[in-house]
Structure formats: C-alpha cells, structure tokens
C-alpha cells in the first residue's frame, strides 16, 4: 500500500478547503494508493463530510497526550476518532524550535501520544 498524505498545516481557510475538495482528482485513488488529508482541527468535520464521499481518509494534525480533562485548546484521541482515521504526532517544527525540551521530554511525549492514540484506534 502506498500513502499520499497532505498535512495542510495552517494554510487554508474554509473557502480554500471547499475549493480543494471540489477540485480533487479521484483518479489517484486505487486499491494500492490511500490518500489522507490532515486539515486544521477547525476544518476536520466539514472536510470529513466532503471527502468521505470520494474515499479520502482524514487525519488529525495532532492529538493531546491527555485522556480527558480541562486542557484548553487540546483535542483528545477519543474525540478525534469520531471523524479521523489517523493522527500526526512528533512535528518537526515543534522539535526543531524547542531543542532542549526535545532532548529531555519530547521523545517521551511523542511515545506517550502514540500509545494514547493507538488505544483509541487511530493510526499514526
């Protein structure tokens, strides 16, 4: 299986998302190729709704290390699994910009996130 993954990061507004989905070329889809898009969390629901019709899978750009609780701005894996098949963790721009934390805690945090996400049946 080959994967084409598009992490949209913080590059699209809602109109861009609609235009991208409307112009998506379904000829790239096959049994051998899985297309996955990772929109900003704000756009997860509308993108999931638009893309499920054509067979494109949805990924979250990140997931909280926490199970549940008062974690403002975080999104739990249990919430994401309602519309996502995947989640991306261990972002290079975070690790590069925070070298000291990366050396002492980011690797452990990434593995903890991976364990939490797998527990909630999301692929990473």
For the chain, 124 residues long, give each residue's pLDDT as a single digit of tens. 889 999 999 999 999 988 988 888 888 888 898 899 999 999 999 999 888 888 899 999 988 888 889 988 888 888 988 888 898 886 555 544 444 444 445 666 777 777 777 766 656 5
Residue 40's domain comprises 1-60
Considering the domain architecture, whether residues 10 and 25 belong to the same structural domain is answered as: yes
Considering the domain architecture, whether residues 5 and 20 belong to the same structural domain is answered as: yes
Split into its structural domains, the chain has a count of 2
pLDDT computed for residue 116 by the predictor = 72
- Alpha carbon dihedral 71, 75, 77, 83, in 10-degree steps, equals 160
Cα 122 to Cα 2, 13, 21, 51, 73, distances in angstroms: 18, 25, 23, 18, 20
Q: How far apart (Å, rounded) are the C-alpha atoms in residues 119 and 38?
A: 20
pLDDT computed for residue 102 by the predictor = 47
pLDDT computed for residue 16 by the predictor = 93
Could you count the other beta carbons within 10 Å of the beta carbon of residue 69? Answer: 8
Considering the domain architecture, whether residues 18 and 28 belong to the same structural domain is answered as: yes
Give me 65's structure tokens. 């290390």
- Owner of token pair 């070298």: 99
Considering the domain architecture, whether residues 15 and 56 belong to the same structural domain is answered as: yes
CA geometry: angle 32, 37, 42, nearest 5 deg: 160
Give me 3's structure tokens. 């994967």
Considering the domain architecture, whether residues 70 and 42 belong to the same structural domain is answered as: no
pLDDT computed for residue 107 by the predictor = 65
User: Where does residue 32 rank: exposed (0-12), middle (13-18), buried (19+ CB within 10 A)?
Assistant: exposed
């Amino acid at each position: 299986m080959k994967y084409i993954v598009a992490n949209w990061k913080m590059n699209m507004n809602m109109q861009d998302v609609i235009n991208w989905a409307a112009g998506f070329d379904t000829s790239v889809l096959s049994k051998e190729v899985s297309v996955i898009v990772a929109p900003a969390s704000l756009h997860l629901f509308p993108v999931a709704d638009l893309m499920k019709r054509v067979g494109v899978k949805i990924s979250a750009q990140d997931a909280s290390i926490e199970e549940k609780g008062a974690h403002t701005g975080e999104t739990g894996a249990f919430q994401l699994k309602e519309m996502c098949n995947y989640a991306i963790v261990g972002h290079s721009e975070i690790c590069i910009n925070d070298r000291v934390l990366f050396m002492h805690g980011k690797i452990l945090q990434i593995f903890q996130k991976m364990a939490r996400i797998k527990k909630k049946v999301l692929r990473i």
